[in-house]
Structure 1
Amino acid sequence: MDVWIHWGIGLAGSLAVVSAAYAKRSLSVSGAAAAIVTGTLLFGWGSPAWFGSLIAFFLSSSLLSKWKKAARGEAEGGYEKGGRRDAWQVAANGGLALLLCAANQLWPDPLWLAAFVGALAAVNADTWATEIGGLSKSKPRSLLTGASVPPGTSGGVTVLGLAASACGGLFIGAAAYALLQATPAASRLAADAGVLADGLLPLLLAAFAGGMAGSLADSAIGAAWQRMNRCTVCGKEIERAEHCGKPAVRIRGLRWMGNDAVNVLGSIAGSAVAVGVWVLLV
Protein backbone atom coordinates (compact mmCIF):
# COMPACT_ATOMS: atom_id res chain seq x y z
CA MET A 1 0.00 0.00 0.00
CA ASP A 2 1.25 3.46 -0.86
CA VAL A 3 2.49 5.23 2.27
CA TRP A 4 0.31 8.27 1.67
CA ILE A 5 -2.80 6.11 1.28
CA HIS A 6 -1.89 4.30 4.48
CA TRP A 7 -1.59 7.54 6.44
CA GLY A 8 -4.71 8.93 4.77
CA ILE A 9 -6.74 5.92 5.93
CA GLY A 10 -5.45 6.46 9.46
CA LEU A 11 -6.43 10.13 9.41
CA ALA A 12 -9.86 9.42 7.90
CA GLY A 13 -10.55 6.67 10.43
CA SER A 14 -9.47 8.88 13.32
CA LEU A 15 -11.61 11.76 12.11
CA ALA A 16 -14.66 9.51 11.78
CA VAL A 17 -14.37 8.01 15.25
CA VAL A 18 -13.46 11.29 16.96
CA SER A 19 -16.27 13.20 15.24
CA ALA A 20 -18.81 10.69 16.51
CA ALA A 21 -17.30 10.80 20.01
CA TYR A 22 -17.31 14.60 20.04
CA ALA A 23 -20.95 14.66 18.94
CA LYS A 24 -21.77 12.35 21.87
CA ARG A 25 -19.84 14.69 24.21
CA SER A 26 -17.29 12.01 25.05
CA LEU A 27 -14.44 14.37 24.06
CA SER A 28 -13.77 18.06 24.59
CA VAL A 29 -12.28 20.18 21.77
CA SER A 30 -8.75 19.64 23.06
CA GLY A 31 -9.47 15.95 23.63
CA ALA A 32 -10.75 15.57 20.06
CA ALA A 33 -7.63 17.20 18.63
CA ALA A 34 -5.34 15.00 20.73
CA ALA A 35 -7.31 11.88 19.81
CA ILE A 36 -7.05 12.61 16.07
CA VAL A 37 -3.28 13.01 16.33
CA THR A 38 -2.90 9.90 18.49
CA GLY A 39 -5.09 7.73 16.28
CA THR A 40 -3.46 8.86 13.04
CA LEU A 41 0.06 8.26 14.35
CA LEU A 42 -0.91 4.89 15.78
CA PHE A 43 -2.32 3.75 12.45
CA GLY A 44 0.58 5.21 10.49
CA TRP A 45 3.33 3.67 12.63
CA GLY A 46 1.45 0.51 13.50
CA SER A 47 -1.16 -1.54 11.72
CA PRO A 48 -4.98 -1.59 11.74
CA ALA A 49 -4.77 -3.91 14.76
CA TRP A 50 -2.81 -1.39 16.85
CA PHE A 51 -5.20 1.39 15.88
CA GLY A 52 -8.25 -0.82 16.42
CA SER A 53 -7.11 -1.86 19.91
CA LEU A 54 -7.02 1.79 20.96
CA ILE A 55 -10.48 2.31 19.45
CA ALA A 56 -11.75 -0.76 21.36
CA PHE A 57 -10.56 0.83 24.60
CA PHE A 58 -11.98 4.24 23.77
CA LEU A 59 -15.39 3.02 22.62
CA SER A 60 -15.92 0.58 25.48
CA SER A 61 -14.88 3.10 28.14
CA SER A 62 -16.92 5.91 26.57
CA LEU A 63 -20.04 3.75 26.38
CA LEU A 64 -19.62 2.72 30.01
CA SER A 65 -19.20 6.33 31.09
CA LYS A 66 -22.65 7.08 29.62
CA TRP A 67 -24.29 3.98 31.12
CA LYS A 68 -26.38 4.65 34.24
CA LYS A 69 -24.58 7.96 34.74
CA ALA A 70 -27.16 9.12 37.27
CA ALA A 71 -26.56 6.04 39.41
CA ARG A 72 -22.89 7.04 39.75
CA GLY A 73 -23.66 10.65 40.61
CA GLU A 74 -22.49 10.51 44.23
CA ALA A 75 -19.13 9.01 43.34
CA GLU A 76 -18.55 10.98 40.16
CA GLY A 77 -19.24 14.36 41.75
CA GLY A 78 -15.85 14.37 43.43
CA TYR A 79 -13.73 13.08 40.55
CA GLU A 80 -11.14 15.44 39.08
CA LYS A 81 -12.25 14.65 35.52
CA GLY A 82 -15.71 13.87 34.19
CA GLY A 83 -16.78 11.63 31.33
CA ARG A 84 -15.78 14.17 28.63
CA ARG A 85 -12.06 13.55 28.02
CA ASP A 86 -9.68 16.44 27.46
CA ALA A 87 -6.24 16.39 25.80
CA TRP A 88 -4.48 15.55 29.07
CA GLN A 89 -6.72 12.52 29.60
CA VAL A 90 -6.14 11.35 26.04
CA ALA A 91 -2.39 11.66 26.57
CA ALA A 92 -2.54 9.92 29.96
CA ASN A 93 -4.51 6.99 28.57
CA GLY A 94 -2.98 6.65 25.11
CA GLY A 95 0.42 8.33 25.29
CA LEU A 96 2.39 5.31 26.47
CA ALA A 97 0.67 3.10 23.88
CA LEU A 98 1.73 5.54 21.16
CA LEU A 99 5.34 5.57 22.40
CA LEU A 100 5.43 1.76 22.37
CA CYS A 101 4.08 1.72 18.83
CA ALA A 102 6.80 4.16 17.78
CA ALA A 103 9.43 1.98 19.46
CA ASN A 104 8.18 -1.02 17.49
CA GLN A 105 8.49 0.98 14.29
CA LEU A 106 12.15 1.65 15.09
CA TRP A 107 13.09 -1.73 16.64
CA PRO A 108 10.48 -4.34 15.60
CA ASP A 109 9.81 -6.99 18.24
CA PRO A 110 6.66 -8.79 19.53
CA LEU A 111 7.52 -7.58 23.04
CA TRP A 112 6.48 -4.06 22.05
CA LEU A 113 3.02 -5.31 21.13
CA ALA A 114 2.75 -7.22 24.42
CA ALA A 115 3.74 -4.03 26.26
CA PHE A 116 1.24 -2.04 24.16
CA VAL A 117 -1.58 -4.44 25.02
CA GLY A 118 -0.61 -4.28 28.69
CA ALA A 119 -0.70 -0.48 28.69
CA LEU A 120 -4.15 -0.39 27.09
CA ALA A 121 -5.38 -3.21 29.32
CA ALA A 122 -4.31 -1.21 32.38
CA VAL A 123 -6.20 1.96 31.45
CA ASN A 124 -9.20 -0.03 30.25
CA ALA A 125 -9.30 -2.12 33.43
CA ASP A 126 -9.09 1.02 35.55
CA THR A 127 -11.84 2.73 33.56
CA TRP A 128 -14.14 -0.29 33.77
CA ALA A 129 -13.45 -0.57 37.51
CA THR A 130 -14.37 3.09 37.99
CA GLU A 131 -17.48 3.03 35.83
CA ILE A 132 -18.88 -0.35 36.89
CA GLY A 133 -17.49 -0.35 40.42
CA GLY A 134 -19.32 2.95 41.00
CA LEU A 135 -22.57 0.95 40.77
CA SER A 136 -21.59 -1.34 43.64
CA LYS A 137 -24.14 -1.64 46.45
CA SER A 138 -21.36 -2.17 48.98
CA LYS A 139 -19.08 0.66 50.13
CA PRO A 140 -15.53 0.75 48.73
CA ARG A 141 -12.60 -0.16 50.95
CA SER A 142 -9.20 1.48 50.87
CA LEU A 143 -6.66 -0.69 49.08
CA LEU A 144 -4.01 0.42 51.58
CA THR A 145 -5.85 0.20 54.91
CA GLY A 146 -8.88 -1.97 54.22
CA ALA A 147 -11.10 0.61 55.92
CA SER A 148 -14.49 1.52 54.46
CA VAL A 149 -14.38 4.76 52.46
CA PRO A 150 -17.06 6.89 50.75
CA PRO A 151 -17.83 6.24 47.05
CA GLY A 152 -15.45 8.16 44.80
CA THR A 153 -12.56 8.09 47.27
CA SER A 154 -9.24 7.70 45.49
CA GLY A 155 -7.81 4.24 46.21
CA GLY A 156 -11.18 2.73 47.13
CA VAL A 157 -11.99 -0.68 45.62
CA THR A 158 -15.00 -2.99 45.55
CA VAL A 159 -15.45 -6.63 44.59
CA LEU A 160 -17.54 -5.50 41.63
CA GLY A 161 -14.80 -3.07 40.60
CA LEU A 162 -12.11 -5.76 40.79
CA ALA A 163 -14.22 -8.09 38.64
CA ALA A 164 -14.71 -5.25 36.16
CA SER A 165 -10.93 -4.71 36.08
CA ALA A 166 -10.37 -8.35 35.17
CA CYS A 167 -12.97 -8.18 32.40
CA GLY A 168 -11.56 -4.88 31.09
CA GLY A 169 -8.07 -6.32 30.73
CA LEU A 170 -9.28 -9.52 29.08
CA PHE A 171 -11.42 -7.47 26.69
CA ILE A 172 -8.36 -5.63 25.36
CA GLY A 173 -6.40 -8.89 24.96
CA ALA A 174 -9.26 -10.55 23.08
CA ALA A 175 -9.89 -7.47 20.92
CA ALA A 176 -6.20 -7.15 20.01
CA TYR A 177 -5.94 -10.80 19.01
CA ALA A 178 -9.16 -10.70 16.96
CA LEU A 179 -7.97 -7.56 15.18
CA LEU A 180 -4.61 -9.18 14.45
CA GLN A 181 -6.42 -12.15 12.92
CA ALA A 182 -8.59 -9.88 10.80
CA THR A 183 -5.68 -7.74 9.54
CA PRO A 184 -4.60 -8.71 6.01
CA ALA A 185 -1.19 -10.36 5.96
CA ALA A 186 0.22 -7.58 3.78
CA SER A 187 -0.65 -4.99 6.46
CA ARG A 188 0.75 -6.89 9.44
CA LEU A 189 3.91 -5.86 11.20
CA ALA A 190 6.64 -8.22 12.36
CA ALA A 191 5.28 -7.83 15.91
CA ASP A 192 1.79 -8.79 14.72
CA ALA A 193 3.03 -11.98 13.09
CA GLY A 194 5.11 -12.89 16.14
CA VAL A 195 2.19 -12.51 18.53
CA LEU A 196 -0.16 -14.46 16.26
CA ALA A 197 2.36 -17.29 16.03
CA ASP A 198 2.41 -17.62 19.82
CA GLY A 199 -1.38 -17.94 20.08
CA LEU A 200 -4.25 -16.36 21.97
CA LEU A 201 -3.58 -17.62 25.51
CA PRO A 202 -0.29 -15.75 26.17
CA LEU A 203 -1.81 -12.48 24.94
CA LEU A 204 -4.94 -12.97 27.07
CA LEU A 205 -2.94 -13.76 30.19
CA ALA A 206 -0.59 -10.83 29.58
CA ALA A 207 -3.58 -8.50 29.13
CA PHE A 208 -5.32 -9.89 32.21
CA ALA A 209 -2.21 -9.52 34.39
CA GLY A 210 -1.39 -6.09 32.97
CA GLY A 211 -4.95 -4.90 33.44
CA MET A 212 -5.17 -6.04 37.05
CA ALA A 213 -1.68 -4.77 37.92
CA GLY A 214 -2.31 -1.39 36.30
CA SER A 215 -5.71 -0.94 37.92
CA LEU A 216 -4.45 -1.93 41.38
CA ALA A 217 -1.36 0.26 40.98
CA ASP A 218 -3.64 3.14 40.02
CA SER A 219 -5.70 2.59 43.18
CA ALA A 220 -2.66 2.22 45.44
CA ILE A 221 -0.91 5.31 44.04
CA GLY A 222 -4.17 7.22 44.24
CA ALA A 223 -4.64 6.28 47.89
CA ALA A 224 -1.03 7.05 48.87
CA TRP A 225 0.02 10.07 46.82
CA GLN A 226 -2.79 11.54 44.73
CA ARG A 227 -3.68 15.12 45.57
CA MET A 228 -6.94 15.22 47.52
CA ASN A 229 -8.89 18.33 48.46
CA ARG A 230 -11.72 19.23 50.82
CA CYS A 231 -14.68 21.37 49.85
CA THR A 232 -14.86 24.46 52.07
CA VAL A 233 -18.65 24.53 51.74
CA CYS A 234 -19.92 20.97 52.20
CA GLY A 235 -16.76 19.41 53.68
CA LYS A 236 -16.63 16.59 51.13
CA GLU A 237 -13.24 15.04 50.28
CA ILE A 238 -12.72 15.37 46.53
CA GLU A 239 -10.21 15.27 43.68
CA ARG A 240 -11.54 18.43 42.06
CA ALA A 241 -9.94 21.82 42.64
CA GLU A 242 -13.41 23.36 43.05
CA HIS A 243 -16.67 22.19 44.60
CA CYS A 244 -19.94 23.88 45.45
CA GLY A 245 -18.73 26.84 43.41
CA LYS A 246 -15.74 27.50 45.69
CA PRO A 247 -12.01 26.60 45.55
CA ALA A 248 -11.20 23.48 47.55
CA VAL A 249 -8.33 23.13 50.01
CA ARG A 250 -5.61 20.48 49.60
CA ILE A 251 -5.55 18.12 52.58
CA ARG A 252 -3.05 15.45 51.50
CA GLY A 253 -1.07 14.00 48.61
CA LEU A 254 1.53 15.44 46.29
CA ARG A 255 0.49 18.76 44.79
CA TRP A 256 1.37 17.66 41.22
CA MET A 257 -0.10 14.14 41.50
CA GLY A 258 -3.45 14.56 39.78
CA ASN A 259 -5.62 11.90 38.21
CA ASP A 260 -3.82 12.03 34.86
CA ALA A 261 -0.42 11.43 36.49
CA VAL A 262 -1.85 8.47 38.40
CA ASN A 263 -3.23 7.02 35.16
CA VAL A 264 0.17 7.31 33.46
CA LEU A 265 1.89 5.46 36.31
CA GLY A 266 -0.81 2.79 36.27
CA SER A 267 -0.38 2.22 32.53
CA ILE A 268 3.40 1.90 32.98
CA ALA A 269 2.87 -0.72 35.69
CA GLY A 270 0.40 -2.64 33.51
CA SER A 271 2.73 -2.56 30.53
CA ALA A 272 5.69 -3.82 32.58
CA VAL A 273 3.71 -6.67 34.13
CA ALA A 274 2.30 -7.71 30.74
CA VAL A 275 5.82 -7.91 29.32
CA GLY A 276 6.92 -10.01 32.29
CA VAL A 277 4.04 -12.45 31.81
CA TRP A 278 4.69 -12.59 28.07
CA VAL A 279 8.38 -13.42 28.60
CA LEU A 280 7.50 -16.18 31.08
CA LEU A 281 4.95 -17.76 28.75
CA VAL A 282 6.71 -17.32 25.40
Structure 2
Amino acid sequence: MTILLYKLLLGFIVGSVIAMLSYITHFVTKSGALALIFVATIICGFGPWPTWGLIIIFFTSSGCIHLAKKMMNITKVESVTAKGHARDAWQVFAHSLPAIISLILFYYTKKPLFLIGYVSAIAGATADTFGSEIGILSKKVPRSIVSFKPIEPGLSGGISILGSVASLLGSLLISLSFWLFYSWYHASVLPISLIVIVPFICGIVTSLVDSLLGATLQVTYRCSICGKLTEQRYHHLQQTKQIHGISWLSNDWVNFFSSCFTVLFSWFILHYIQ
Protein backbone atom coordinates (compact mmCIF):
# COMPACT_ATOMS: atom_id res chain seq x y z
CA MET A 1 0.00 0.00 0.00
CA THR A 2 2.89 2.35 0.80
CA ILE A 3 4.41 1.81 -2.64
CA LEU A 4 1.03 2.40 -4.27
CA LEU A 5 0.53 5.71 -2.42
CA TYR A 6 4.04 6.78 -3.37
CA LYS A 7 3.37 5.98 -7.02
CA LEU A 8 0.02 7.79 -6.91
CA LEU A 9 1.75 10.89 -5.60
CA LEU A 10 4.43 10.64 -8.29
CA GLY A 11 1.72 10.24 -10.92
CA PHE A 12 -0.08 13.30 -9.60
CA ILE A 13 3.09 15.38 -9.87
CA VAL A 14 4.00 14.13 -13.36
CA GLY A 15 0.40 14.48 -14.51
CA SER A 16 0.25 18.04 -13.19
CA VAL A 17 3.35 18.99 -15.17
CA ILE A 18 2.01 17.42 -18.38
CA ALA A 19 -1.42 18.97 -17.81
CA MET A 20 0.06 22.42 -17.23
CA LEU A 21 2.12 22.26 -20.42
CA SER A 22 -0.86 20.90 -22.36
CA TYR A 23 -3.10 23.68 -21.05
CA ILE A 24 -0.54 26.39 -21.84
CA THR A 25 -0.28 25.16 -25.43
CA HIS A 26 -4.12 24.91 -25.62
CA PHE A 27 -3.99 21.15 -26.22
CA VAL A 28 -6.50 20.64 -23.40
CA THR A 29 -9.11 22.78 -21.68
CA LYS A 30 -9.28 23.28 -17.90
CA SER A 31 -11.49 20.23 -17.50
CA GLY A 32 -9.21 18.30 -19.85
CA ALA A 33 -6.19 19.24 -17.73
CA LEU A 34 -7.89 17.97 -14.56
CA ALA A 35 -8.86 14.75 -16.33
CA LEU A 36 -5.28 14.34 -17.56
CA ILE A 37 -3.99 14.66 -13.99
CA PHE A 38 -6.44 11.98 -12.85
CA VAL A 39 -5.46 9.63 -15.70
CA ALA A 40 -1.73 10.08 -15.07
CA THR A 41 -2.20 9.50 -11.34
CA ILE A 42 -4.07 6.23 -11.85
CA ILE A 43 -1.66 4.95 -14.51
CA CYS A 44 1.41 5.70 -12.39
CA GLY A 45 -0.23 4.23 -9.30
CA PHE A 46 -1.40 0.95 -10.79
CA GLY A 47 0.96 0.37 -13.72
CA PRO A 48 4.66 -0.54 -14.06
CA TRP A 49 6.89 2.25 -15.33
CA PRO A 50 6.71 1.19 -19.02
CA THR A 51 3.02 2.09 -18.93
CA TRP A 52 3.93 5.57 -17.71
CA GLY A 53 6.22 6.08 -20.68
CA LEU A 54 3.45 5.27 -23.15
CA ILE A 55 1.05 7.90 -21.81
CA ILE A 56 3.86 10.47 -21.80
CA ILE A 57 4.72 9.61 -25.41
CA PHE A 58 1.06 9.85 -26.43
CA PHE A 59 0.45 13.28 -24.93
CA THR A 60 3.87 14.64 -25.88
CA SER A 61 3.65 13.57 -29.52
CA SER A 62 0.02 14.65 -29.85
CA GLY A 63 0.83 17.97 -28.21
CA CYS A 64 3.74 18.56 -30.59
CA ILE A 65 1.49 17.93 -33.59
CA HIS A 66 -1.13 20.27 -32.15
CA LEU A 67 1.47 22.96 -31.48
CA ALA A 68 2.92 22.63 -34.99
CA LYS A 69 -0.55 23.02 -36.53
CA LYS A 70 -1.20 26.03 -34.35
CA MET A 71 2.04 27.65 -35.53
CA MET A 72 0.96 26.92 -39.10
CA ASN A 73 -2.42 28.53 -38.31
CA ILE A 74 -4.37 25.50 -39.51
CA THR A 75 -7.97 25.96 -38.29
CA LYS A 76 -10.03 25.00 -41.30
CA VAL A 77 -12.09 22.35 -39.49
CA GLU A 78 -13.21 24.47 -36.53
CA SER A 79 -16.64 25.02 -38.11
CA VAL A 80 -17.12 21.30 -38.79
CA THR A 81 -16.00 19.39 -35.72
CA ALA A 82 -18.21 19.32 -32.65
CA LYS A 83 -15.47 20.75 -30.44
CA GLY A 84 -12.32 22.80 -30.89
CA HIS A 85 -8.78 21.49 -31.01
CA ALA A 86 -8.41 21.68 -27.21
CA ARG A 87 -9.47 18.41 -25.56
CA ASP A 88 -11.95 18.59 -22.69
CA ALA A 89 -12.43 16.03 -19.92
CA TRP A 90 -14.90 13.92 -21.92
CA GLN A 91 -12.44 13.60 -24.80
CA VAL A 92 -9.62 12.62 -22.46
CA PHE A 93 -11.72 9.98 -20.68
CA ALA A 94 -13.19 8.63 -23.93
CA HIS A 95 -9.74 7.48 -25.02
CA SER A 96 -8.26 6.58 -21.65
CA LEU A 97 -10.99 5.03 -19.48
CA PRO A 98 -10.98 1.55 -21.14
CA ALA A 99 -7.17 1.55 -20.96
CA ILE A 100 -7.24 2.43 -17.25
CA ILE A 101 -9.72 -0.36 -16.50
CA SER A 102 -7.51 -2.90 -18.28
CA LEU A 103 -4.45 -1.64 -16.40
CA ILE A 104 -6.17 -1.91 -13.01
CA LEU A 105 -7.19 -5.48 -13.87
CA PHE A 106 -3.54 -6.21 -14.67
CA TYR A 107 -2.47 -4.75 -11.32
CA TYR A 108 -4.70 -7.16 -9.40
CA THR A 109 -4.38 -10.25 -11.61
CA LYS A 110 -0.85 -9.89 -13.09
CA LYS A 111 -2.18 -11.40 -16.32
CA PRO A 112 -0.33 -10.14 -19.44
CA LEU A 113 -3.65 -10.15 -21.30
CA PHE A 114 -4.75 -7.02 -19.42
CA LEU A 115 -1.39 -5.29 -19.83
CA ILE A 116 -1.54 -5.75 -23.60
CA GLY A 117 -5.13 -4.49 -23.50
CA TYR A 118 -3.86 -1.26 -21.97
CA VAL A 119 -1.09 -0.92 -24.56
CA SER A 120 -3.55 -1.63 -27.39
CA ALA A 121 -5.89 1.10 -26.13
CA ILE A 122 -3.04 3.65 -26.03
CA ALA A 123 -1.91 2.53 -29.50
CA GLY A 124 -5.47 3.00 -30.73
CA ALA A 125 -5.78 6.44 -29.17
CA THR A 126 -2.49 7.48 -30.76
CA ALA A 127 -3.46 6.08 -34.15
CA ASP A 128 -6.81 7.89 -34.06
CA THR A 129 -5.26 11.17 -32.90
CA PHE A 130 -2.45 11.07 -35.46
CA GLY A 131 -4.88 10.15 -38.21
CA SER A 132 -7.27 13.02 -37.50
CA GLU A 133 -4.66 15.66 -36.63
CA ILE A 134 -2.29 14.91 -39.52
CA GLY A 135 -4.89 13.71 -42.01
CA ILE A 136 -6.48 17.16 -42.12
CA LEU A 137 -3.23 18.43 -43.67
CA SER A 138 -3.83 16.31 -46.77
CA LYS A 139 -4.17 18.34 -49.95
CA LYS A 140 -6.65 15.78 -51.28
CA VAL A 141 -10.26 15.79 -50.14
CA PRO A 142 -10.98 12.91 -47.72
CA ARG A 143 -13.42 10.20 -48.69
CA SER A 144 -16.06 8.37 -46.71
CA ILE A 145 -14.86 5.00 -45.43
CA VAL A 146 -18.27 3.59 -46.39
CA SER A 147 -19.15 5.13 -49.75
CA PHE A 148 -15.70 6.43 -50.76
CA LYS A 149 -17.38 9.66 -51.84
CA PRO A 150 -15.64 12.98 -51.05
CA ILE A 151 -16.73 14.51 -47.74
CA GLU A 152 -16.04 17.72 -45.86
CA PRO A 153 -12.54 17.74 -44.25
CA GLY A 154 -12.84 17.24 -40.50
CA LEU A 155 -16.07 15.24 -40.57
CA SER A 156 -15.94 11.88 -38.81
CA GLY A 157 -15.86 8.89 -41.12
CA GLY A 158 -13.46 10.41 -43.63
CA ILE A 159 -10.18 8.78 -44.60
CA SER A 160 -7.18 9.85 -46.63
CA ILE A 161 -3.85 8.33 -47.56
CA LEU A 162 -1.97 10.80 -45.36
CA GLY A 163 -4.28 10.18 -42.42
CA SER A 164 -4.06 6.40 -42.83
CA VAL A 165 -0.26 6.48 -42.91
CA ALA A 166 -0.27 8.73 -39.83
CA SER A 167 -2.53 6.28 -37.98
CA LEU A 168 -0.23 3.41 -38.87
CA LEU A 169 2.82 5.31 -37.63
CA GLY A 170 1.04 6.31 -34.42
CA SER A 171 0.15 2.71 -33.61
CA LEU A 172 3.67 1.58 -34.50
CA LEU A 173 5.19 4.27 -32.27
CA ILE A 174 3.37 3.02 -29.17
CA SER A 175 3.92 -0.67 -29.97
CA LEU A 176 7.67 -0.32 -30.54
CA SER A 177 8.06 1.99 -27.54
CA PHE A 178 6.38 -0.54 -25.27
CA TRP A 179 8.59 -3.30 -26.66
CA LEU A 180 11.73 -1.26 -25.87
CA PHE A 181 10.48 -0.28 -22.41
CA TYR A 182 9.27 -3.73 -21.47
CA SER A 183 12.36 -5.52 -22.81
CA TRP A 184 14.39 -3.37 -20.46
CA TYR A 185 11.98 -3.85 -17.58
CA HIS A 186 11.18 -7.57 -18.02
CA ALA A 187 13.49 -9.14 -20.60
CA SER A 188 11.95 -12.02 -22.57
CA VAL A 189 8.90 -12.40 -20.31
CA LEU A 190 6.51 -11.88 -23.21
CA PRO A 191 7.06 -12.90 -26.84
CA ILE A 192 7.48 -10.10 -29.35
CA SER A 193 4.26 -11.15 -31.09
CA LEU A 194 2.30 -10.06 -28.01
CA ILE A 195 4.33 -6.94 -27.25
CA VAL A 196 4.42 -5.45 -30.74
CA ILE A 197 2.14 -7.14 -33.23
CA VAL A 198 -1.08 -7.34 -31.18
CA PRO A 199 -1.09 -3.68 -30.03
CA PHE A 200 -0.03 -2.57 -33.51
CA ILE A 201 -2.89 -4.42 -35.18
CA CYS A 202 -5.40 -3.31 -32.55
CA GLY A 203 -4.26 0.29 -32.95
CA ILE A 204 -4.95 0.22 -36.67
CA VAL A 205 -8.28 -1.52 -36.13
CA THR A 206 -9.28 1.23 -33.68
CA SER A 207 -8.85 3.97 -36.28
CA LEU A 208 -10.88 1.95 -38.78
CA VAL A 209 -13.68 1.21 -36.30
CA ASP A 210 -13.70 4.86 -35.24
CA SER A 211 -14.07 5.99 -38.85
CA LEU A 212 -16.74 3.35 -39.54
CA LEU A 213 -18.83 4.38 -36.54
CA GLY A 214 -18.33 8.02 -37.45
CA ALA A 215 -19.61 7.43 -40.97
CA THR A 216 -22.59 5.25 -40.06
CA LEU A 217 -23.90 5.94 -36.55
CA GLN A 218 -22.44 9.25 -35.34
CA VAL A 219 -24.86 12.17 -35.39
CA THR A 220 -24.41 14.69 -38.21
CA TYR A 221 -26.17 18.01 -38.73
CA ARG A 222 -26.70 20.43 -41.60
CA CYS A 223 -26.48 24.19 -41.22
CA SER A 224 -29.60 26.02 -42.42
CA ILE A 225 -27.52 29.11 -43.23
CA CYS A 226 -24.57 27.82 -45.26
CA GLY A 227 -25.86 24.32 -46.01
CA LYS A 228 -22.65 22.62 -44.79
CA LEU A 229 -22.57 19.32 -42.93
CA THR A 230 -21.28 19.70 -39.39
CA GLU A 231 -21.05 17.91 -36.04
CA GLN A 232 -22.12 21.04 -34.18
CA ARG A 233 -25.61 21.62 -32.80
CA TYR A 234 -25.35 25.31 -33.60
CA HIS A 235 -23.74 26.88 -36.66
CA HIS A 236 -23.78 30.58 -37.56
CA LEU A 237 -25.65 31.10 -34.27
CA GLN A 238 -28.54 28.99 -35.60
CA GLN A 239 -29.62 25.54 -34.50
CA THR A 240 -28.64 22.91 -37.05
CA LYS A 241 -30.86 20.10 -38.33
CA GLN A 242 -30.00 16.48 -37.66
CA ILE A 243 -29.79 14.56 -40.92
CA HIS A 244 -27.90 11.41 -40.00
CA GLY A 245 -26.95 9.11 -37.14
CA ILE A 246 -28.12 8.58 -33.58
CA SER A 247 -28.93 11.81 -31.77
CA TRP A 248 -26.86 11.11 -28.62
CA LEU A 249 -23.91 9.41 -30.38
CA SER A 250 -21.35 12.20 -30.50
CA ASN A 251 -17.69 11.88 -31.45
CA ASP A 252 -16.80 11.42 -27.77
CA TRP A 253 -19.02 8.34 -27.58
CA VAL A 254 -17.56 7.04 -30.85
CA ASN A 255 -14.05 7.37 -29.41
CA PHE A 256 -15.13 5.63 -26.20
CA PHE A 257 -16.79 2.69 -27.97
CA SER A 258 -13.82 2.36 -30.33
CA SER A 259 -11.45 2.24 -27.38
CA CYS A 260 -13.62 -0.35 -25.62
CA PHE A 261 -13.65 -2.45 -28.78
CA THR A 262 -9.85 -2.22 -28.99
CA VAL A 263 -9.35 -3.52 -25.46
CA LEU A 264 -11.87 -6.34 -25.92
CA PHE A 265 -10.40 -7.24 -29.31
CA SER A 266 -6.90 -7.50 -27.83
CA TRP A 267 -8.24 -9.69 -25.02
CA PHE A 268 -9.94 -11.91 -27.59
CA ILE A 269 -6.75 -12.29 -29.64
CA LEU A 270 -4.56 -13.04 -26.63
CA HIS A 271 -7.08 -15.50 -25.21
CA TYR A 272 -6.67 -17.71 -28.28
CA ILE A 273 -2.94 -17.08 -28.79
CA GLN A 274 -2.17 -18.12 -25.25
Unpaired stretches in structure 2, ≥5 consecutive residues? none
- Structure 1 residues 2 and 148, CA, compared in 2 at 3 Å: closer, same or farther? closer
CA distance in 2, matches of 1:103, 1:217: 24
For residues 148-197 of structure 1, the C-alpha deviation after alignment (integer angstroms, 9 at most, x for no partner) is 222122211011111111111111111222333455xxxxxxxxx4x852
Q: Secondary structure at the match of 1:68?
A: helix
**Superposition RMSD on alpha carbons, in Å?**
2.0
Deviations 1:213-244 (CA, angstroms, capped at 9, x unpaired): 10000000000010111122211101122222
**Pairing partner for 2:129 from 127, 130, 148:** 127
Matches within 5 A, 1:62-101: 62-69=63-70, 70=72, 72-101=74-103
Which residue of the partner structure matches residue 51 of structure 1? 52
Could you tell me which runs of 5 or more consecutive residues in structure 1 were left unpaired when the two chains were aligned: 184-192
- Percent identity between the aligned chains? 31
Aligned residue for 1:197, secondary structure, equals coil
The match for 2:263 among 254, 267, 271 is 271
| Cα pair 1:213 1:270 within 8 Å, conserved | yes
SS of aligned partner of 1:81: coil
TM-score of the superposed pair, with normalisation by structure 1 = 0.89
**Residues 30-68 of structure 1: CA distance to partner in whole angstroms, max 9, x if unpaired?**
111111111101111112221221221122122212323
> Which residue in 2 is equivalent to 1:19?
20
Residues 94, 120 of structure 1: 8 Å contact kept = yes
Tell me how far 1:90 sits from its aligned partner: 0.9
Change (3 A) 1:92 1:73: same
Equivalent residue in structure 1 for 2:145, among 139, 143, 146: 143
Which of 159, 162, 165 aligns to 1:160? It is 162
CA contact (8 A) 1:54 1:94 kept: no
Question: Which residue of 186, 204, 220 corresponds with 1:228?
Answer: 220
